[in-house]
Structure 1
Amino acid sequence: MDSYKHEALRQRLEADISRMRPDEALPTERQLAQRYNVSRATARRALQALREDGLIRSVRGVGTFVAHPRITKTSTLTSFSEDLRSRGYRPTAELLAAQRLEADLHHATALGVDPGTTLHRIERLRLGDDFPICLETVYLSAERFPDLDQSLLTGSLSEALQITHGVRVVRATQQIRAVNVTGRQAGLLGVKEGSAALLVRRTAFDDTGHVVEYGESLCRGDLYEFSLVVAK
């Protein structure tokens, strides 16, 4: 019976949350217990289930709030902007740095160019509805893309390259690992220092097999997840 009550309450709260905005506060356990005539233990179990589903988040000593929708990255080749639009976000990018530098061995290997080749280094904070989600650094060959209009760097870089240079990304490789954010990263992403994040290293290729870009993205662990299909 208790299991039925907690699941019924979870479903009612989930329906309520669907009509609420991210960061909007939920009632306390005591208030929920009184409102729905259940025990506090039942209210607590329902809230825990919603937390596990990523629908709410709790801040100790402050309260429980509607979580921002998670962005699920699948094995389908899509840009960050496309991923955000699919979840109802308005994607934008804040340009933090745009510079030219000589390729070291690591970035030269990643891009398939000689060490010392001039590269574009573009650092951006990726946002959804003006909310920070990902810190991204992208490298491109300045020989292949000599002129990059900085006004194009506030949206999808892949879309900008296709429009301005006729280059279309058709394949990408990715390596993903769990990390903890440092001070500057935490400040930009709006999380506590040491918070969990996903570091994604991505190499994108065009239809001729040449590397278009190499990037490293630090994605908030509470907002970003990967869903992959593995077959034998």
Structure 2
Amino acid sequence: MAKEEVRKHFRLAELLREEISDLPPHDPFPGERALAERYGTSRVTIRQALALLQDDGQIYTVHGAGSFVAPPRMMKQMKLMSFTEEMKQRGFEAITQLLSATLVNPEDDITDEFIVVSEPSYRIERLRIAGQEPLSLEVTFITESNAPGLLKEDLTKSLYKILAFKYGQEITSADEHLTPMVLNGAESKLLKVPEGTAALRIQRTGYNVRGEDVERSLAIRQGSRWDFKYSVRN
């Protein structure tokens, strides 16, 4: 590729960044054809400029719907902390909406395929909000034997703090499994983004200091709102 062609799509990306700065998050962004006509350049150049914006997390694409303005990303470091702690570290107050909280048994028909209920457990579904925006849809399972009477607690507060201070079950380590996914209609409605939006599915098993698992959870987070930062060493 010629140097002038490279400079051209970088310059165009800068112009588009200025345009994006005036638009609210999740606003539709013009497609390749409209931008090519507006800037009088080829769709190849437009496509390259849009790819730069997507790599930088400034736009995101929903298959069949087009491109949209991405909200600022949250940076998640690979350090064990609750959602409440994550948001506090970033200067946001975390708000929790409790969607459901029930006691389930091994014989119950549990639809969360990642979990196997081998003894009575609490199933807690919550929507986590920060900066007036829903960022995470979470389902958490905690065995009744580890936290008897948990449903009487205020489950809009940090579960990690309740487990630590009320039940002596401090979660000191966890295994996580991250999987890309797209949101279905119910999930996208709760997270207030278009159906088919890219998301991250995070399965976590949290352990106490004795290595016993205390919680198993599934969090669905908007893919356009999170970066994951970690170090790799030999």
TM class, shorter-length: 0.7 to 0.9
Shift in Å, 1:48: 4.5
Secondary structure of the residue that 1:143 maps to in structure 2?
helix
- Paired position in structure 2 for 1:121: 123
Shift in Å, 1:43: 8.0
- Paired position in structure 1 for 2:92: 89
Shift in Å, 1:59: 8.5
Structure 1: unaligned runs, 5 residues or longer: 34-38
Structure 1 residues 191 and 40: CA distance shift in structure 2, 3 A: same
- Paired position in structure 2 for 1:49: 52
One-letter amino acid of the structure 2 residue matched with residue 91 of structure 1: A
Structure 1 residues 11 and 196: CA distance shift in structure 2, 3 A: closer
- Paired position in structure 2 for 1:187: 189
1:28-177 matches, within 5 Å, as: 48-57=51-60, 66-103=69-106, 115=118, 117-148=119-150, 152-177=154-179
Provide the rounded CA distance (Å) in 2 between the counterparts of 1:197 and 1:51. Answer: 15
One-letter amino acid of the structure 2 residue matched with residue 120 of structure 1: Y
Provide the rounded CA distance (Å) in 2 between the counterparts of 1:110 and 1:71. Answer: 27
Structure 1 residues 26 and 72: CA distance shift in structure 2, 3 A: same
Structure 1 residues 180 and 7: CA distance shift in structure 2, 3 A: closer
Shift in Å, 1:188: 1.4
- Paired position in structure 1 for 2:204: 202
Q: Is the 8 A contact 2:181 2:200 kept in 1?
A: yes
Shift in Å, 1:210: 1.7
Provide the rounded CA distance (Å) in 2 between the counterparts of 1:82 and 1:29. Answer: 41
Provide the rounded CA distance (Å) in 2 between the counterparts of 1:150 and 1:218. Answer: 26
Q: Is the 8 A contact 1:71 1:83 kept in 2?
A: no
Q: Is the 8 A contact 2:73 2:225 kept in 1?
A: yes
Provide the rounded CA distance (Å) in 2 between the counterparts of 1:16 and 1:191. Answer: 21
Q: Is the 8 A contact 1:91 1:155 kept in 2?
A: no
Shift in Å, 1:8: 5.8
Structure 1 residues 104 and 218: CA distance shift in structure 2, 3 A: farther
- Paired position in structure 2 for 1:36: none
Taking only aligned residues, the RMSD between alpha carbons, in angstroms, comes to 3.9
TM-score, normalising length: structure 1:
0.72
Deviates more, 1:180-189 or 1:148-157: 148-157
Q: Is the 8 A contact 2:80 2:174 kept in 1?
A: yes
- Paired position in structure 1 for 2:228: 226
Provide the rounded CA distance (Å) in 2 between the counterparts of 1:83 and 1:15. Answer: 29
Percent identity, please: 31
Provide the rounded CA distance (Å) in 2 between the counterparts of 1:176 and 1:191. Answer: 20
Deviates more, 1:182-191 or 1:208-217: 182-191
